[in-house]
Structures are given as C-alpha cells and as structure tokens.
C-alpha cells in the first residue's frame, strides 16, 4: 500500500503505481489545497457581503482596485514559486539538506522583494482610482483599501512563501489549516473593524458592541491582520516543525546563492509576466467597465467574487500538480511526471465542470448574500452565467499551468497567457463592451478562457516540457 508512504520516496524507488494509487495520491494532495482555496474564497465572500451592506458605492470601491491587488498578488506568488519549485525538485531527489538551504535563502530575498513592491504600491495608492477612471465619490475609499493592502504586502509575501514551500515539500494539510484559520479571523476582525459601535440583539437581549467604523478600509485591515497572524503561525511551523524545511542547525548564509537566484528568476520571471499579463488585463478591463457606472462596476465585482468559488478548486488541484510533477522531475521519473500532469488536469476539469454547473443554478441566491441591490444582482447573475460555460477549459488552463510549473516550464505558458489575454480578451472586450455593455465584457472573457484552455492542453500534449528528462 502507498497510502502511508512518502510519495517522493516511492518515486525514487521507481515503484510502479497503479491508476487507482495515482488517483489516490492526487486526491490526498489536492483535497487540502482545494479546501484552502475555498476558505480563501469564503473570506472574499465575507468581505464582499459585509462591505456590501454599506451600499453599492462601497462594493464598487473594492471592486475597482481588485484587479490591482491581484496584480501585486500575482507578483508575490511568482516570487514564491521561483523558490518553491526548486524545493519540490530537491524533495523529489531526496536531498533534504538542499531543500532546507533553498528555503533559508528564500526568506530574506522574498522579504526584500516584497518591501520594494509595497513601497511602489503605497506611492501610487491615492492616484490609482483616478487612473482607473473611477467616479470621484468612490476614489477615497478605493485608495484607502489599496493603501492598507500594500502596507501588508511583506506579510502576504512571507505567508505565500511559507504555504508554497510546505505544499511543494508535500505538506498540504498545514497550509490548509492556516488558510481556514485566516478565514475565521477575517470574520472576527471585520466584525469589529468595518461597522461602528452599535447595539446587537443576542437571545432577546440588547448588548452594546464596540466597532471601529472604518467601513471599506476596515474590510481590508481585517483581512490583512488575519494574514499577519497566519504568517506568524505558518513560518513558525515551517522553520521549526517541518521535517523537510526546519532550519534548526542548518548552516549556510541567508543571502541566496547566485545559482538559486538564477533558477528562481528563470521560474519566477515568466510567471510574473504571466500574472502581470492577466492582472493588467483585469486593470484594463476595469478601466473599460468603469464608464458603465456604479451598478456595472459592483455587478462585475460581485460576479467575479461569485465565480471564484468555481475556479478556486482548480487552483487547489493545480498546487497538487506542481508538487507531484516537480517531485517527479526531481526523482527523474518522466513517466510519473506525464501521468500526474494529465491526471490532475482532467481532475480539475471534472471538478470545475461540476462547480460551474451548480453555480449556474444557485447564483441568484449567492448574489442575494452579497448585495441588497436588486439591480446589481440581476446584472451580476446574467453576466456570470455567460462565463460559467467556459469553466471546463478554464480548469484545463489552471491545472496544466500548475503541472508545467512543477517541471520548471514557465516561459512558454507566460507567452501563451500574454497572447490569449491581450490578443483575445481585451480585443473582444473593446469591440463588444461598447455595443453590449457589461455583457460584452463577459462574452469576451468566456471566449478567451476557452481559447486559453485549448492552447494549454496542446502545450501539455506536445511534451516539450519533458525534454530535459530521459
């Protein structure tokens, strides 16, 4: 039985795994990642719902800068992945000392990188809403939301690094636990930070409840403080408790070696380009949507939030794909790298087909939880249902990208995303939005996601990413 044995050890022993055993491994590694991603999305739902009670303008403020926060988040994830994929390869090769050294060297570099990113974000925060073409009435709230996000970028960077390092070393449960904890803490912090002091009814009794009354800014501050608590916990676990990552008695410098930095750049830079292409397209999309008015901005934001529950399981499976393919490459098992790449991709397509199907029917109730505005709900449901038809191929692009990342193949996926996002989505959006409003934007999005999924499946099939393995 393989259930209780280390997967990387099985790879190094050239153990033959049956289809059922492979699926079991995929399931065990994917499930914690899926739960972690769902917890993150629930946190977004909570933020949107709590801020949504303040009105459509508050929701529009958050929605306006959402694409910008994704852009910075993508840069952070790319920086973390540049080191984490190296840890997956070292783990697959059974080199525990090298695994620890790479982790140690990644900490200082990641902190310095994120500090520069935070400074850039802080400097542009109060100009960003105007650049995006927002109405004056929502610019201040949007700027404050983005400013607080940027101040906590180093916290988010180290949180992401710890999670990705644990995942690529084969530990999916610990990151899932802390993601769930962050969701719970977000609710607690938001409860006290968003709303003003008020009286609440508890079992028929009126009880005074303190509140900071920070509104939209409170929503981001609550999320950031939750990330801070979890960053401390996850780094403590990685540095002191993890068998593969613990830095106890690990010699060597904190400054990254040139070879580690070079490999991190080779993996992370194309990913950053990929994330930037996607997120900059979101920024441009926001700029296209902004003139449509507050209702359209809010509906667009809530539709993106509602859809995320469908695709986040794909990202959870994609994390498992990165780990499994990365460890297979480290163990020089071409057969397993190919097999796990396809198994995870098909699993992601199956899961997201089901979630997309369910969301198509339940989205009216989801929007009722997110906003009290009937006009926003109706438009949001309509545009979301257009995009849900693309979920299977969207899944293919997400998980296949994770598998390719595990093999260190990030340049071509970055180029494919660049061509897909800008050549298909933005081009169609510019043509259709002026004629069809927000509906045109989402038709463009659905068309591009289908195109992207197809080209990633082709990339996976051609197997050039396996060329360096015998």
Decide if 164 is inside a domain. yes
**Which uninterrupted H or E stretch holds 219?**
helix 216-236
**pLDDT at position 12, please?**
61
Digit-coded pLDDT (tens) for 341-374: 999 999 999 999 999 999 999 999 988 887 788 8
pLDDT, averaged across the chain: 86
pLDDT at 1: 39
For residues 157 and 113, is the Cβ–Cβ distance under 8 A? yes
Give the pLDDT confidence score for residue 9 in this predicted structure: 63
If one counts every other C-beta atom within 10 angstroms of the C-beta of residue 420, the result is 23
Residue (of 166, 179, 272, 286) closest to 226 by Cα position: 179
- Most confident of the following: 45-54, 116-125, 292-301: 116-125
Strands 196-202 and 205-212: antiparallel
Residue 17 half-sphere exposure toward CB, CA atoms < 13 A: 26
Q: What average pLDDT does this structure show over 109-125? A: 95
Return the exposure string of 305-314: e unless at least 16 CB atoms fall within 10 Å of the residue's CB, then b.
bbbbbbbbbb
Structure tokens at 415: 């180029």
User: Other C-beta atoms within 10 Å of 265: how many?
Assistant: 13
Alpha carbon distance 58, 220 (integer Å) = 12
In a domain, 1, yes or no: no
Average pLDDT over residues 138-154: 93
Smallest CA-to-CA distance from 408 within 462, 465, 463 is with 465
Query: What SS3 state is found at 111?
Result: helix
In-domain check, residue 400: yes
Could you tell me if 58 and 145 are in contact, meaning their C-beta atoms sit under 8 angstroms apart? Answer: no
**Which region among 142-151, 217-226, 246-255 has the lowest average model confidence (pLDDT)?**
246-255
With CA atoms as reference, report the closest residue to 323 among 340, 298, 338. 340
Radius of gyration of the chain (CA): 22
The span from the first CA to the last CA of the chain, in angstroms, equals 28
For 52-59, what is the mean pLDDT? 75
pLDDT of residue 91: 86
Kindly state whether residue 125 falls inside one of the protein's structural domains: yes
State mean pLDDT over 213-224. 89
3-state helix, strand, coil in the chain (%, to 5): 80, 5, 15
Q: State how far the Cα of 384 lies from the Cα of 308, in Å rounded to an integer.
A: 11
Residue range 110-116: mean pLDDT, rounded: 95
Predicted pLDDT of residue 13? 61
Tell me how far apart the alpha carbons of residues 10 and 308 are, in angstroms, rounded to a whole number. Answer: 35
Among the residue ranges 225-239, 321-335, 448-462, the one predicted with the least confidence is 321-335
Candidates 133, 57, 435, 143; CA nearest to 288 is 133
Give 18 or 308, the one with higher predicted confidence.
Answer: 308
Q: Which of 335, 347, 323, 147 is nearest to 244 (CA)?
A: 323
Q: Report residue 172's pLDDT band, with 50, 70 and 90 as the boundaries.
A: confident
- pLDDT tens-digit map of 228-244: 999 999 999 999 999 88
Q: What count of other Cβ atoms lies within 10 Å of the Cβ of residue 201?
A: 8
Q: Which tokens go with 170? A: 């084969």
3 pLDDT band, cuts 50/70/90, is very low
Range of the domain at 312: 7-466
What percent of the chain is predicted at pLDDT more than 90? 36
* Residue that the structure tokens 């952070």 belong to: 76
What is the Cα–Cα distance from 244 to 227, expressed in whole angstroms?
Answer: 24
Mean pLDDT of 21-48: 73
B/e letters for 141-163, b = 16+ CB within 10 Å, e = fewer, are bbbbbbbbbbbbbbbbbbbbbbb
pLDDT for 2 beyond 50: no
Mean pLDDT within 89-115: 91
Q: Where are the beta strands (DSSP E) in 311-419?
A: none
Number of domains in the chain: 1
Task: Decide if 399 contacts 323 (C-beta within 8 A).
Answer: no
The answer to whether the beta carbons of residues 307 and 125 sit under 8 Å apart is no
The number of angstroms, rounded, from the C-alpha of 431 to the middle of its chain's C-alpha atoms is 29
Residues in Cβ contact with 229 at an 8 Å cutoff, skipping those fewer than 6 apart:
181, 182, 185
Torsion sign (Cα): 25, 27, 31, 33: positive
pLDDT for residue 185 is more than 70: yes
What single-letter DSSP state applies at residue 390?
G
Instruction: Please give the pLDDT value at position 14.
Output: 63
User: Average of pLDDT values for 146-173?
Assistant: 91
Q: Are 293 and 301 in contact (CB under 8 A)?
A: no
Concatenating the DSSP letter of every residue in 266-316 gives HHHHHHHHHHHHHHHHHHHHHHHHGGG-HHHHHHHHHHHHHHHHHHHHHHH
Q: Which of 341, 329, 348 is nearest to 462 (CA)?
A: 341
């Amino acid at each position: 039985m393989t259930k209780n044995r280390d997967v990387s050890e099985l790879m190094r022993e050239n153990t033959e795994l049956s289809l059922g055993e492979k699926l079991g491994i995929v399931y065990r590694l994917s499930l914690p990642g899926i739960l972690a991603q769902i917890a993150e999305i629930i946190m977004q739902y909570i933020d949107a719902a709590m801020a949504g009670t303040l009105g459509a303008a508050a929701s529009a403020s958050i929605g306006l800068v959402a694409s910008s926060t994704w852009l910075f988040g993508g840069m952070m994830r790319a920086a973390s992945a540049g080191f984490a994929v190296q840890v997956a390869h070292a783990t697959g090769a059974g080199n525990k000392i090298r695994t620890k050294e790479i982790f140690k060297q990644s900490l200082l570099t990641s902190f310095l990188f994120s500090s520069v990113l935070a400074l850039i974000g802080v400097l542009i925060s109060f100009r960003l809403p105007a650049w995006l073409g927002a109405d004056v009435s929502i610019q201040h709230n949007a700027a404050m939301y983005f400013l607080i996000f940027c101040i906590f970028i180093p916290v988010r960077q180290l949180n992401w690094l710890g999670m990705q390092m644990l995942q690529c070393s084969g530990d999916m449960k610990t990151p899932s636990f802390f993601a769930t904890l962050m969701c719970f803490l977000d609710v607690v912090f938001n409860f006290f930070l968003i709303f003003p002091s008020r009286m609440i009814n508890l079992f028929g009794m009126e009880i005074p409840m303190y509140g900071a009354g920070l509104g939209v800014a409170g929503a981001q501050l609550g999320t950031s403080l939750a990330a801070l608590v979890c960053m401390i916990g996850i780094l403590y676990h990685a540095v002191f408790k993890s068998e593969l990552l613990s830095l106890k008695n690990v010699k060597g410098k904190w400054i990254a070696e040139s070879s580690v930095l070079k490999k991190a750049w080779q993996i992370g830079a194309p990913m950053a380009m990929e994330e930037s292409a996607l997120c900059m397209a979101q920024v441009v999309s926001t700029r296209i949507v902004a003139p449509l008015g507050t209702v359209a901005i809010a509906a667009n934001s809530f539709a993106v939030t509602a859809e995320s529950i469908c695709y986040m399981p794909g990202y959870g499976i994609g994390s498992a794909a990165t780990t499994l393919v990365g460890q297979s490459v480290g163990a020089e098992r071409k057969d397993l790298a190919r097999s796990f790449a396809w198994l995870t991709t098909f699993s992601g397509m199956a899961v997201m087909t089901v979630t997309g199907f369910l969301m198509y029917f339940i989205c009216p109730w989801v929007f009722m939880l997110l906003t009290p505005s009937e006009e926003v709900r109706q438009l949001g449901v309509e545009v979301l249902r257009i995009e849900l038809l693309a979920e299977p191929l969207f899944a293919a692009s997400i998980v296949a990208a994770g598998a390719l990342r595990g093999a260190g193949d990030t340049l071509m996926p970055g180029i494919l995303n660049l061509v897909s996002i800008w050549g298909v989505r933005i081009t169609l959006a510019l043509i259709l939005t002026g004629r069809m409003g927000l509906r045109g934007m989402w038709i463009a999005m659905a068309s591009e996601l289908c195109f992207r999924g197809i080209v990633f499946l082709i990339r996976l099939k051609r197997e050039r990413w396996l060329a360096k393995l015998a």
